[in-house]
Amino acid sequence: MPLRPEIDRLAPYRPGGRLAGTEVVNLAANENPWGPSPRVLSAMADISDVGRYPQMQPEELVGRLAALHGLDPECIVLGTGSGHLIKLLAEVLVGPGDRVLVPQPGFSLYRHAVDLMGGIPEGVPVRGDASDADAYAARSEGAAVTFLCRPHNPLGASLDLAALARIAAATGDRGLLAVDEAYIEYAGIPSAFALLRQRLPVAVLRTFSKAYGLAALRLGWLAAPPEVAAAVRKASEPFPINAVAARAALAALEDDAHVASVVARTVEGRAHLGKALESKGFLVHPSDANFLLVDVGDAAGRLHAHLLAQGILVRKADSFGLPQSLRITVGTEEENRRLVAAVEAFI
Ligand SMILES: Cc1ncc(COP(=O)(O)O)c(C=O)c1O
C-alpha cells in the first residue's frame, strides 16, 4: 500500500525508556520521581460519571490556568500532553515546503511534527548560552514556526525574555515563535507568557508531566495568540482530555506546596549530583531543568551499559547527535547516591 512520502521519511519517536522491577532506577525520561500530590490520587478516585463524554476543553481547568497565569482563557488550549500540541501547532501552521526552525541538538518531536506535514525542519545550532539568540535571530525571518526550548532539552540552559523578544521580532508577523517550557518550574525564571501578553507572535507550551508528576495521565497545554489557539482547537480531535486527567490537574494545581517541594528537592539533587559527577572528571553542563547533560567522551556507551547492568537507566544522548554524552534525570536522594556509586565503580 503506498504511504505518503512524508511517512516513509519519518523517524519514529524514541522514548527515554524504562526498566521494570523494584530495584531499578529510571533516570532516562526526565520524570518526577516523587509523582503527584496525594490530593491528585484521591481526586482521581472520586470520579464516577465516566459513562458520558467529557467537555471538549474542560472549562474549569482552562479558567484556573488562565487566572493563575494572567492569561485570557481564549488563548489556552489543553492537549493530550504537550507533545500533542506540538503536533497540532505544526498541523495548523506548517504546509509542504515551509521552513521551520528547530534547535539542534533538541527534542525530536519538533522535527517529527514538521516532517509529518511536509515542512522543512532547519536545525539551529544551539550551545546552551547567550549566543543561541544570535543563531536563532539570524535565521528566523520567513520561518513559519520557530521552535525553542527553555530550559533546553538536553543542554539545560534557558534564554532570557529579552533574547526571546529579539527572536520574536526577527521572526516577523507571519511566523510564530513556539517556546516549549516543559521544564520551567525547575528553572525559577519568568515565563514567556509575558511576551504573549504584549501581543507578540509567541506560543508557550506547558506540561503536567514533569514538576506536577502526571506523565501517565497525558496532559499539556498551550497559550497562544487567540487566532492560533482557535485554529488548534479546531484541528484537534474531539475530547482530547479525559475526565480523570482534568480532575487530577485541578487537584495538582491546588497543592502548590507539593510542587514547591518537588522543585526544591530536584534543585538540591541537581547541585549535588552535578558536583559529584564533576569531581569524577566529567564535564557537566549547567542545568535549569530536572536533568543533567554529562560529557563522558568515548566511554559514554560503556558507561551507559555499565549503569544498565547495575539496574540504572540513563539516556544516551546519541539520538540528540551527542554520542559522547549521557543525559541523566535527577532522581531521589537514594537514586542519585546509587548512580554516583555505580559511576565510581565504573571508573
Ligand atoms: C522539551 C520537551 N517538550 C515536551 C515534552 C513532552 O511532554 P508531554 O507530552 O509529556 O507533555 C518533553 C518530554 O520529555 C520534553 O522533553
pLDDT digits (tens, 9 = 90+) for 78-109: 999 999 999 999 999 999 999 999 999 999 99
Weakest-pLDDT range from 11-25, 214-228, 271-285, 311-325 = 11-25
How many angstroms is it from 208 CA to the middle of ligand 1? 9
Sign of CA pseudo-dihedral 6, 11, 12, 15: negative
Q: What is the pLDDT of residue 245?
A: 97
Closest CA to 196 of 59, 63, 74: 74
Question: What's the whole-number mean pLDDT along residues 274-288?
Answer: 97
Closest CA to 269 of 25, 102, 76: 25
Domains of the chain: 5-36+257-346 (3.90.1150.10), 38-254 (3.40.640.10)
Ligand 1 pocket test: pick from 109, 158, 320 the residue with the most ligand atoms within 8 Å of its Cβ: 109
Q: Is 0.75 surpassed by the pTM of this model?
A: yes
- Does residue 229 contact residue 196 with C-beta atoms inside 8 Å? no
- Does residue 219 contact residue 241 with C-beta atoms inside 8 Å? yes
- Give, rounded to a whole angstrom, the gap between the first and last alpha carbons of the chain: 52
- pLDDT of 306 over the 90 cut: yes
Please report the atom of ligand 1 found closest to the CA of residue 215: 10
Task: Enumerate residues 6+ apart whose C-beta is below 8 A from 4.
Answer: none
Query: Can you tell me which residue has the cell 554524552?
Result: 325
CA–CA gap between residue 177 and residue 148 (Å, rounded): 7
Q: Hey, whose CA ends up nearest to atom 12 of ligand 1?
A: 182
Task: Enumerate residues 6+ apart whose C-beta is below 8 A from 126.
Answer: 103, 104, 105, 106, 132, 135, 152, 155
How many angstroms is it from 226 CA to the middle of ligand 1? 23
Q: Give the burial class of 204: count Cβ atoms within 10 A of its Cβ; 0-12 exposed, 13-18 middle, 19 or more buried.
A: buried
Instruction: Identify the helix (H) or strand (E) that includes residue 313.
Output: strand 312-316
pLDDT digits (tens, 9 = 90+) for 150-197: 999 999 999 999 999 999 999 988 999 999 999 999 999 999 999 999
pLDDT digits (tens, 9 = 90+) for 53-62: 999 999 999 9
How many angstroms is it from 279 CA to the middle of ligand 1? 30
CA–CA gap between residue 291 and residue 277 (Å, rounded): 13
The tally of CA atoms less than 13 A away on the side-chain side of residue 231 is 14
